[in-house]
Structure 1
């Protein structure tokens, strides 16, 4: 039964490539399984085993991918953003109750300082630049004492991540081995992944999207993952030539940056045809989906995922299925329904998106209030409230109308920022847009939009407002349009609506 991370790739061809990286030879599946056994022995010798939490603070790349896959077979993984400051590391390490932290050999930065002050075991990761991609050794600095040497099963926690914490204290999301395995298999099925597929990963590997969609789903299919050192639109097409991928997955802002550089890389796109492109973690504007599909002559598969679901919940189908711009697709793993936004019951029409399935976390750790608010029983199943508002069309495609917390309440008139995003994205001069709530002294909130123009394009605030006014009702037209060089993003490249007015210095202002 495939209900652990180890089981996902236990039977793959030993000689087949698993992990690659720029200028490196490939680590085979046989090599990855050997590495897993060595890592387990090292952890056990350091007093770390089943149920013990190991924070992983590594730069993006094949060692980060391999560390997640191998450490999870003996202990609990907790990848953290390497860009955190010492105070942030101290918070997360304490909140996680970590027993050890994995650091790149020689790292004396803020994660090391936080771990040292807390007396945690340091696991130094060493990898040679001339070795196979992802191959490493661990050296323990200190011992965590006695441990349970039993290997984890499907009901054990494999991965712990925090929610973003935009509006409150971050919540701890434990994901079981069975959750991760189920989601990986769901994605494999949705994308029809096989051993012939190769993913070019540009997603950060401290985030659920990269860990599950790029890495775990590929391993489940016996495919290969070429691990870039992060996202860089300038280097992306060079990586395509070296990696020769059949697909890549990214967030919309990354796709837009790639699209902006596509015209000068037409030869690479023609020489390295992709089977498909995948987008997730935020809604992909319809015009961007259409432009990507036309540019790469390949279908763009938009998926819908979140941490609490071990990533994927819905996905647009591959051809001959229809990809609907603006929709996150069909149910693709868990059951998806619409629920009343305040009462614990399923409903029809527009409402809160809820899910139930084997990939869904058993619940937030140490947070009974959040569990009571976000989980409920109905029709014989346990449902998780996603916080997203949405509706199904007649064909069963799910369209998100916004985050419930992000819906703009303009004097009682509700405005979906996603709808306005879609309209403004169709403006020929607009490269990126994020619509957000702007405080208003009388209405409470009004509509505003931050816009980045395409390279060489020109448009004024009045032009963009006039464009919107021809396409949506007057109350949905942004009262303020800010034309920026760059829109503030979160650590994973997602545009963040909540708090954007404050970040842009508009929280105390009012629209005219």
Structure 2
């Protein structure tokens, strides 16, 4: 066996064929069903001329078909490509063409958007359309379900550790970029991290996954996991689906076209879910409010099965963690610091240690360092700022972008690191405090101000529901710190009080000089900050030229 993901999941299927793998509404698939349907996807792709190393774009909300298509692509040694369902024509065309995709699997509701760009997709050989009940259809598209039913399952083939896996990331500037991994680096590092999160020893080789999955089921310790965030992003797919599946667990899919926290909790109760994956406060805050509302109404959810809640990539404030644990004291919260370019650190919070928890403070992975820009280690307790350098799960590079690859993936003292641009300080105890990404840094009067630390300070005020901080042009200081924020229902908007609150947490020059009140702070579907949209709102509201 290799560390190729299809090999691992086939190994699990052989060990627990009748155990549940996917729940998607009325669709309930065992591991044998899952593997069989994925093998049919693989055959459909090869029948339409896709060969080893080809790319296939997946354009869908969270669905069983999304997971089947990805598994099927791995089976055929084809590279699946995630497509953000919020993209408009320009970004959509870019991802499909930039990735050299030869097939597009999409939900029928997106057919009108696909039709608008169809003439620009020169390499697409197959449009495979998932019937989602929308009534939409693209002329000439092949029905996903009909194609699967007509196909024979593709026989298992020999695969390689070097097979390509790729995830497109929006980044902070420019068009989306494909982050490339070989399967061995990706699977061995990611899945080991998943086992560590559960305080379990990971298999030493790929053939160990099946026996371990069988053992977990025998002990009634298997995972039933909801990725509450989109599968099209790394957090939802990697933490929410791939890791539970590689434990032989069942992935319970939640309709993510509109986030309904009450529906999420009800699904968790109904399916006796053990794990939920979210993306920071943007998910956690409404989930906490829904628990508070249910308690006040005397209709508390039975969530006694829920043992783990994970997040990555976005701030998850201590106050919200504390609130969730007050309802769910049996649960562990795993807050991961990472990006599509790799995992860097983790903070684990339980009811026992929540009073010592600090927002944005993480324990580094053993392979991660905080280094100066010339590659020198930052001394613990020095207060010096450095770049977080991930030295474990390091991508091959960005697809077809050698310049960006060279700038992001560097070697110091013989060790190759991923350096996506996150700055941090190292505390005396060796933990780190995340400051933020350099590309979003505000320069005001010569002082560097990271939006994330100002946002964190603002969110500790009980009147603030959500916020993003941006820099606007300023004649005197170059840039002025500007907060785009929404308030808790019924809270009073008091700019002077908010600015003073920040000054009690941070140096005075970091306090926002301008506050822009909005109904909803702009964020992507995965909860990540949309700083460009926030800045555009502020510029328009203040009538400031860009």
Give the TM-score category using the shorter length: 0.7 to 0.9
Q: Which secondary structure state, in structure 2, belongs to the residue aligned with residue 139 of structure 1?
A: helix
Q: 1:457 to 1:285 in 2, by over 3 A?
A: same
Residues 1:354 and 2:397 aligned together: no
Q: 1:7 to 1:152 in 2, by over 3 A?
A: closer
Residue 382 of structure 1 deviates from its aligned partner by 0.8
Q: 1:460 to 1:405 in 2, by over 3 A?
A: same
Q: Distance in 1 between matches of 2:2 and 2:364?
A: 21
Q: Could you list the runs of 5+ residues in structure 1 that have no partner in the other structure?
A: 130-135, 141-148
More helix by share: 2
Q: Distance in 2 between matches of 1:393 and 1:30?
A: 49
The answer on whether the counterparts of 1:20 and 1:27 sit within 8 Å (CA) in structure 2 is yes
**Aligned 1:247-258 pairs, distance under 5 A:** 247-252=275-280, 253-258=282-287
The answer on whether the counterparts of 1:290 and 1:325 sit within 8 Å (CA) in structure 2 is no
Q: Distance in 1 between matches of 2:158 and 2:351?
A: 42
Q: Distance in 2 between matches of 1:413 and 1:507?
A: 25
Post-superposition Cα deviations, 1:91-124, rounded to whole Å, max 9, x if no partner, equal 2221111111112368632224434553522242
Specify the alignment match of 1:157 in structure 2: 164
The answer on whether the counterparts of 1:184 and 1:217 sit within 8 Å (CA) in structure 2 is yes
Residue 438 of structure 1 deviates from its aligned partner by 2.4
Q: Distance in 2 between matches of 1:97 and 1:11?
A: 30
Residues 1:440 and 2:471 aligned together: no
Q: 1:393 to 1:25 in 2, by over 3 A?
A: same
Q: Which secondary structure state, in structure 2, belongs to the residue aligned with residue 162 of structure 1?
A: strand
Specify the alignment match of 2:97 in structure 1: 94
**Aligned 1:330-409 pairs, distance under 5 A:** 330-332=363-365, 335-341=367-373, 343-348=374-379, 349-357=384-392, 359-409=393-443
Residues 1:262 and 2:253 aligned together: no
The answer on whether the counterparts of 2:2 and 2:160 sit within 8 Å (CA) in structure 1 is no
Specify the alignment match of 2:41 in structure 1: 39
Specify the alignment match of 2:88 in structure 1: 85
The answer on whether the counterparts of 1:124 and 1:138 sit within 8 Å (CA) in structure 2 is no
Q: 1:322 to 1:303 in 2, by over 3 A?
A: farther
The answer on whether the counterparts of 1:198 and 1:225 sit within 8 Å (CA) in structure 2 is yes
TM (norm. structure 1) is: 0.87
Q: Distance in 1 between matches of 2:321 and 2:351?
A: 17
Residue 497 of structure 1 deviates from its aligned partner by 3.0
Q: Could you list the runs of 5+ residues in structure 2 that have no partner in the other structure?
A: 134-143, 149-155, 201-215
Q: Distance in 2 between matches of 1:111 and 1:57?
A: 10
Q: Distance in 1 between matches of 2:74 and 2:90?
A: 26
- Structure 1, 81-90 or 501-510: larger mean CA deviation: 501-510
Specify the alignment match of 1:146 in structure 2: none
Specify the alignment match of 2:126 in structure 1: 122
- Structure 1, 424-433 or 219-228: larger mean CA deviation: 424-433
Residue 235 of structure 1 deviates from its aligned partner by 2.3
The answer on whether the counterparts of 1:191 and 1:318 sit within 8 Å (CA) in structure 2 is no
Q: Which secondary structure state, in structure 1, belongs to the residue aligned with residue 111 of structure 2?
A: coil
The answer on whether the counterparts of 1:301 and 1:317 sit within 8 Å (CA) in structure 2 is yes
TM (norm. structure 2) is: 0.82
**Aligned 1:394-433 pairs, distance under 5 A:** 394-433=428-467
1:306 to 322, 328, 339: 339
Specify the alignment match of 2:244 in structure 1: 218
Residue 470 of structure 1 deviates from its aligned partner by 3.2
Q: Distance in 1 between matches of 2:340 and 2:62?
A: 19
Q: Distance in 1 between matches of 2:412 and 2:544?
A: 43
Q: Distance in 2 between matches of 1:72 and 1:213?
A: 18
Q: 1:283 to 1:71 in 2, by over 3 A?
A: same
Q: Distance in 2 between matches of 1:168 and 1:263?
A: 41
Q: Distance in 2 between matches of 1:14 and 1:197?
A: 16
Q: 1:295 to 1:394 in 2, by over 3 A?
A: farther
Q: 1:422 to 1:115 in 2, by over 3 A?
A: same
Q: 1:66 to 1:322 in 2, by over 3 A?
A: farther
Q: Distance in 2 between matches of 1:53 and 1:411?
A: 47
Residues 1:17 and 2:20 aligned together: yes
1:110 to 113, 138, 144: 113
Q: Distance in 2 between matches of 1:439 and 1:51?
A: 47
Residues 1:237 and 2:237 aligned together: no
Q: Distance in 2 between matches of 1:18 and 1:67?
A: 14
Residues 1:209 and 2:235 aligned together: yes
